[in-house]
Amino acid sequence: MFYLSRKLFIQSLLSKTVLAAIVAISPLYQASAKETQLYGQNQTLTLERAIQVAQEQDPWLQSNRYRQQVVTAQSKAASTLPDPMVSVSVANLPVDSFDFSQEAMTQLKLGVSQSLPRGDTLALSEKRLQQLSEEFPLQRQDRKAKVRAAISQLWLDIFLTQRTIKLIEQDRPLFEQLVETTSLNYSSAVGQTRQQDVIRAQLELTRLDDRLSQLRQQLVTYKAQLGEWLTYDHQSGRELSSIQLPDSLPSLDLSETIDNHTIDNTEQLVQHISRHPQLLAFEQKVKASNTRIELAEQSYKPQWSLNASYGYRDQDPMGNSRSDFFSVGVSFDMPLFTEQRQDQEVTATIKEREAVKADKWLLLRSMLAQVRNYHGQLSELDKRRQLYRSRLLREMQQQSEATLNAYTNDRGDFTDVMRARIAELNSKIEALTLDINYLKTVAQLNYLLTQAEQ
């Protein structure tokens, strides 16, 4: 009679716990509806809202805009001729009397000179800086895509940790009941309950509490990392101090769909990835390097300088007027010995361009490998998710119930009961982890497949 009541009590508790866990986890395996509100009445932080706030509050973007304005202003300044030089002097003044009218050669000279840059230096300098300024919008597009991927990772980590804590807390009453049952059976000397069963049950409950403590510690870390992105301007004094997430996973799909044929076709995949903002920013650097080579080649051309002066002469000692003088001239340098300077400057700019091209190729090769890696992982993760949904979770539940039934009928070992219960709990957590890893992989692929805005 005692065995029967114990069996019915534990089975009833198990059924309620399993039902509660299934109800709690079932939304994870349903297609989530589109988020209609970024913030609901309960102030839950959705993934899209987190991304939006992080992008709006990212000071890097504003810093990048300022840097673009700096380069744009520099390009306008670079296309302007240097300021003319004005000179005022007294020439041939006699030192014996310092009389301005004593000598015919004495004059007051006013001169002006203007240097002209070599060849097309001005136009090429402006062109190069304009090309560099066109890199900044691409950098901002890449930054926003990176922020989206980073926030998605942190948000999903928080969601996984919170849901894992809930799953463990839902199963904890059953472990407590197992501790009470084994203690009661051992003290009553009923059935095959041994002291080691009591110790094992209490040990697993303690380990469960330690696991909860570790998860709460991780949750604090993840929230702090996400809060760094979501902190408002310090001057406003407002910040998102409390982070609460929805109960269901968001719908996160690939922004750019690529099939297996494209993955296997390196040429098509490279063509697709080459439109990534980060790679196009490198392309702008290559263009600017080409212009810098042209700019270095201008050093072979002479630099011209124009000068003109007007000399005023006073009357002679007899009162007769003297003619004033006007002078005009041209000067230029002769780049005859180019081996040690001009040639080396051109060589340096060519090597710099090739280095930029090599950096771009390294980045492209890395992104190519990452896309193939994440695409393959996505396929395998989806297969595992389907396996957990269709069979594994149900079979783990059946195993847990079977071992419990065998134990209550004195035909099983308590260690098998605990092992089955822990395995069932771990399988629920693993199923949730698979969903999270699948969405994380989608977020990484979405970044790698980002296409630059035209």
Residues in the chain: 454
Please tell me the predicted confidence (pLDDT) of residue 216: 93
Q: How confident is the model at residue 251 (pLDDT cuts 50, 70, 90)?
A: confident
Please tell me the predicted confidence (pLDDT) of residue 6: 45
Please tell me the predicted confidence (pLDDT) of residue 40: 43
Q: What are phi and psi of 110, to 5 degrees?
A: -120, 115
β-bridge partners, 332: 304
Average pLDDT over residues 408-417: 75
Which tokens go with 216?
């709460």
Residues with Cβ within 8 Å of residue 138, at least 6 apart in sequence: 277, 278, 280, 281, 284, 452
Residues with Cβ within 8 Å of residue 190, at least 6 apart in sequence: 2, 3
Average pLDDT over residues 265-282: 93
Average pLDDT over residues 181-189: 70
Q: How confident is the model at residue 22 (pLDDT cuts 50, 70, 90)?
A: very low
Residue 274 is given by DSSP the state T
Instruction: For Cα atoms 419, 159, 379, give the angle at the middle one, nearest 5 degrees.
Output: 75
Please tell me the predicted confidence (pLDDT) of residue 183: 76
Q: How confident is the model at residue 241 (pLDDT cuts 50, 70, 90)?
A: very low
Q: How confident is the model at residue 308 (pLDDT cuts 50, 70, 90)?
A: very high
Asked if residue 106 lies in contact with residue 91, where contact means CB atoms within 8 angstroms, the answer is yes
Residue 173 neighbours by CB distance under 10 Å: 13
**Percentage with pLDDT > 90 across the chain:** 55
pLDDT above 90 for 10: no
Higher pLDDT, 88 or 180: 88
Q: For the residues of 151-218, what is the DSSP string, one character each?
A: HHHHHHHHHHHHHHHHHHHHHHHHHHHHHHHHHHHHHHT-TT--HHHHHHHHHHHHHHHHHHHHHHHH
Q: Give the SS3 label for residue 111.
A: strand
Please provide the average confidence, as pLDDT, over all residues in the chain.
Answer: 84
Higher pLDDT, 369 or 227: 369
Average pLDDT over residues 314-333: 89
Cα atoms in the Cβ-side hemisphere of radius 13 Å centred on 354 = 6
Q: How confident is the model at residue 230 (pLDDT cuts 50, 70, 90)?
A: confident
Average pLDDT over residues 393-405: 89
Instruction: For Cα atoms 313, 314, 318, give the angle at the middle one, nearest 5 degrees.
Output: 130
- Residue whose C-alpha is closest to residue 61's, from 134, 129, 147: 147
pLDDT above 70 for 428: yes
Which tokens go with 157?
């980590």
Average pLDDT over residues 231-257: 66
Give dist(CA 273, CA 363) in Å, integer.
Answer: 10
Average pLDDT over residues 34-54: 67
| Phi-psi label, residue 451: left if phi above 0, alpha if psi -120 to 50, beta otherwise | beta
Please tell me the predicted confidence (pLDDT) of residue 404: 83
Please tell me the predicted confidence (pLDDT) of residue 405: 85
Least confident span in 18-22, 273-277, 366-370, 429-433? 18-22
CATH numbers and ranges of domains, the chain: 2-81+119-301+340-448 (1.20.1600.10)
Sheet holding 325-332, edge to edge: 85-91, 107-116, 304-312, 325-332
Please tell me the predicted confidence (pLDDT) of residue 237: 38
Instruction: For Cα atoms 40, 429, 257, give the angle at the middle one, nearest 5 degrees.
Output: 65
Q: Give the SS3 label for residue 431.
A: helix
Please tell me the predicted confidence (pLDDT) of residue 173: 83
Average pLDDT over residues 212-219: 93
Strands (E), 5-117: 85-91, 107-116
- Residue whose C-alpha is closest to residue 242's, from 151, 158, 152: 158
Asked if residue 104 lies in contact with residue 321, where contact means CB atoms within 8 angstroms, the answer is no
pLDDT above 80 for 191: no
Give dist(CA 215, CA 213) in Å, integer.
Answer: 5
Average pLDDT over residues 188-198: 67
Give dist(CA 243, CA 107) in Å, integer.
Answer: 83
pLDDT above 90 for 72: yes
Please tell me the predicted confidence (pLDDT) of residue 11: 52
Q: What are phi and psi of 450, to 5 degrees?
A: -60, 135
Which tokens go with 232?
């408002």
Asked if residue 299 lies in contact with residue 333, where contact means CB atoms within 8 angstroms, the answer is no
Q: Give the SS3 label for residue 112.
A: strand
